[in-house]
Amino acid sequence: MARTLLAIPVYNEEKYVERVLSRVQEYLPDVLVIDDGSSDATPSLLARFPVEVIRHSRNRGYGRSLMDAFRWAAVDRFDWVITMDCDEQHEPASIPDFLRAIERDDLDVVSGSRYLNPHPENDAPPEERRRINGIITQELNARLGLRLTDSFCGFKAYRVAAVRRLTLDVDGYAFPMQFWVQAVAAGLRIGEVPVRLIYNDATRSFGGPLDNHAHRLMHYRDVLALELARCADRLPKRCPA
């Protein structure tokens, strides 16, 4: 059976962290929390749970938290790492779906999709977030020959040995742009599993200028274009940069 780590990036999640950690340990015993410089009660609440913790002295970004999780998993010799958010927008009850996909052993990346098989109890996402997700997902599919339905979902399972072959360095929310390009360039096998679409807080901030929809879309496209150029010689010929 594959040895699997559950990694949860957190940033000021005092409202949710206790409930989330209480539930996830029903499914996986090995839990790593990456505290990305929280300034609320999150650090003290984490101390109540038998989990490993990486703490950033300042906010480093979502992508940096994932990269730290990958490094931890590699050093501690895990076979897989499952990532999920800590704002109750990812259901711990979906963890077994990822574990079943891991056990089939035919993929390197198992990506959660909120749009693959729409659930009757799905929430309606904020219009601009859904629009940007759709635009970027279409552009990734067209340029990389993928068939993704949800390129931004943070609920994923990664084969540790496969991720170690990548050279990831995008710290912020544009991390998926770099990840998908490098995953294709490295020949990783990619699949999706359906997960619930849950939005608890439509006003949640991306931080700074990224809260502007047009700026956020432009930033994602800039990071994508840069990575396509960097990986051009390793991408399939049908995927011109």
pLDDT digits (tens, 9 = 90+) for 8-35: 999 999 999 999 999 999 999 999 999 9
Average model confidence (pLDDT) across the chain:
92
**What pLDDT score does 187 carry?**
97
Query: Are 83 and 156 in contact, with CB atoms under 8 Å apart?
Result: yes
**pLDDT tens-digit map of 126-141:** 677 789 999 999 999 9
In a domain, 160, yes or no: yes
Please give the pLDDT value at position 203: 59
Q: How far, in Å, CA of 163 to CA of 180, rounded? A: 11
> Is residue 84 within 8 Å of 6, Cβ to Cβ?
yes
> For residues 191 and 89, which has the higher predicted lDDT (pLDDT)?
191
pLDDT tens-place string over residues 29-88 = 999 999 999 999 999 999 999 999 999 999 999 999 999 999 999 999 999 999 999 987
* Domains in the chain, number: 1
The segment with the largest mean pLDDT, out of 62-76, 185-199, 208-222, is: 62-76
The full length of the chain comes to: 241
Given a contact cutoff of 8 angstroms between Cβ atoms, the answer to whether 204 and 128 are in contact is no
Q: Are 189 and 113 in contact (CB under 8 A)?
A: no
DSSP letter assigned to residue 173: T
Q: pLDDT over 70 for what percent of the chain? A: 91
Q: Which has the closest alpha carbon to 155: 209, 116, 127? A: 116
Q: Does 239 fall in a domain?
A: no
pLDDT at 205 > cutoff 70: no
To the nearest whole percent, how much of the chain has pLDDT over 90?
A: 80
CATH of the domain at 112: 3.90.550.10
Domain contains 241: no
What is the pLDDT, as a whole number, of residue 128? 79
Of 141, 136, 150, 163, the residue nearest 69 (C-alpha): 163
Q: DSSP string covering 214-239, please?
A: HHHHHHHHHHHHHHHHHTGGGS-TTS
**126 within a domain of the structure (yes/no):** yes
Residue 133 placed within a domain: yes
Which domain, by its residues, includes 174? 4-234
Q: Starting from the edge strand earliest in sequence, which strands make up the sheet with 31-35, in order?
A: 52-55, 31-35, 4-10, 80-83, 156-159, 109-113, 190-194
